[in-house]
Structure 1
């Protein structure tokens, strides 16, 4: 997503985004100069400039001859203003929407269609955590989840983290899953499971070839299954850590026989 598209996601029209970007590079400038720099028709620029001025994104300055020139709000100040306004509006809107939300929504499972959606929803859940976090993940996902996990740890949220691959950092109770190579081969990629406060879950698969699919839900059954999955992995890591040589001797390298659920004698 380029800069123009990103500004559009923040509420700018295409012409407004073009005008803002153009003025940043040529301020102070007249409306005509902004139109020329942005590649916009002069017939439209005055309306665009007026809207941006009314919103405080542009600041007008009149010279001695009565000509108007414009300055663009500093990008850092603009982002801070948008962030503050968005937070205020969402906090005001949330309780009103919750009044009309059907309880049946708690049973829905919402798809997460790409890595960005998975990352955004996961970080959001981690920031919401008040009591507990159960999380199972690989180094690639820990790299972006670590700050939110650290913040939760600082809030005294209890954390159990199952790490596929030898962990280089410790957050809460950290466990090294002993069969990461076997799992990667079986699944054709990496998995992520996050359960927060026993009430919300994110599950995702990051498959070979950058194919990502995931889901988020408050569905009680879905949450319970995910919670048990992470806890089961914790049980396994504890057993293999304290009985390592015996378990390897019994079940083989990477505990392959242990994972053969269709052979009770393996």
Structure 2
């Protein structure tokens, strides 16, 4: 509705009884010069009806708000259904792969929600509870619709979603020190991904549907899960000894904190324009 139409409709709803054009103009603030044109548009929309007021002429009464909202919802759903059927038919095949930067926490999480909502077969999540929490409603809906959800969480999560694996190799504090940020990875159907990092309330990140990057993101999460499944076969003391003293692992961990150093050099902790 236009502003005048909305004001006139609200005046009719509030009155609860038929009003003539003069009364609608007086109660709504719609100019008298345009009130009958405005009411005519409401009538044509089916949001109001003309009624006879005897010798007083014509009055107007609103369609009840619940009925109007139901009608709008049906029309909206019908439009979405039509678009979902027709737009894919006219869409040209992708000629380039997308990758774009996400420069703050809000845009990072909003784009991550888009990816979660797009999942139809499988969904991989890895992150800290602070970033995973906003994604849970959509992830739970996806799971209810048959999507296989796999989650790795750094830290305590009393309300996990999907097949959740708590990260146990390093504490969240040590992981944060190594990475320099709270790393978030979200992958849907192995077709699109959001990868980003959060430092306090600043963030950086990327969205991509590039198959190579998406593959690396999927394998990052799958590798973490697989390692934890293997660890469960060890006795706790045996694994601790292996994890801290094995020479091959020691070599891989010799760059302790290197990722955080690189991010600091790049200015990523400020989250300003990094991707």
Q: Same fold (TM over 0.5)?
A: yes
Per the TM alignment, residue 174 of structure 1 is displaced from its structure 2 partner at its CA by 0.3
Counterpart check, 1:89 vs 2:79: yes
- Structure 1 residues 78, 223: closer, same or farther in 2, change over 3 A? farther
Aligned counterpart, 2:32: 42
Gaps spanning 5+ residues in structure 2: where? 247-252, 260-275
Higher alpha-carbon deviation: 24-33 or 161-170: 24-33
Alignment of 1:162-177 (within 5 A): 162-177=152-167
**Structure 1: gaps (5+ residues):** 1-11, 252-256
Contact 2:48 2:60 in 1 (8 A): no
Does the 8 A contact of 1:131 with 1:197 survive in 2?
yes
**Higher-Rg member (1/2):** 2
Distance 1:195 1:83, change over 3 A: farther
Contact 1:60 / 1:71 at 8 angstroms: preserved in 2? no
Q: How far off is 1:260 after superposition? A: 1.9
Do 1:27 and 1:72's aligned partners in 2 also have CA atoms closer than 8 Å?
no
- The equivalent residue for 2:215 is 224
> Which residues in structure 2 correspond to 1:12-161 (within 5 Å)?
12-28=1-17, 29-64=19-54, 65-74=56-65, 76-104=66-94, 107-109=97-99, 122-123=112-113, 125-161=115-151
Q: Distance in 1 between matches of 2:10 and 2:254?
A: 59
Structure with greater contact order relative to length (CA < 8 Å, sep ≥ 6): 2
Contact 1:59-1:72 at 8 Å conserved across structures: yes
CA separation of 1:20/1:161 partners in 2, compared to 1, >3 Å: closer, same or farther?
farther
Task: Confirm or deny: 8 A CA contact 2:50 2:58 kept in the other structure.
Answer: no
Contact (CA 8 Å) 1:200, 1:216: kept in 2 or not? yes
Task: Name the CA shift for 1:48/1:91 in 2 (closer, same or farther; >3 Å).
Answer: same
> Could you say if the C-alpha distance between residues 22 and 206 of structure 1 is closer, same or farther in structure 2, counting changes exceeding 3 Å?
farther
Alpha-carbon deviation of 1:39? 3.0
Tell me the distance in 1 between the aligned counterparts of 2:124 and 2:187: 5
Count, aligned residues? 246
- The TM-score normalised by the length of structure 1 is 0.69
Which range moves more in the overlay, 121-130 or 215-224? 121-130
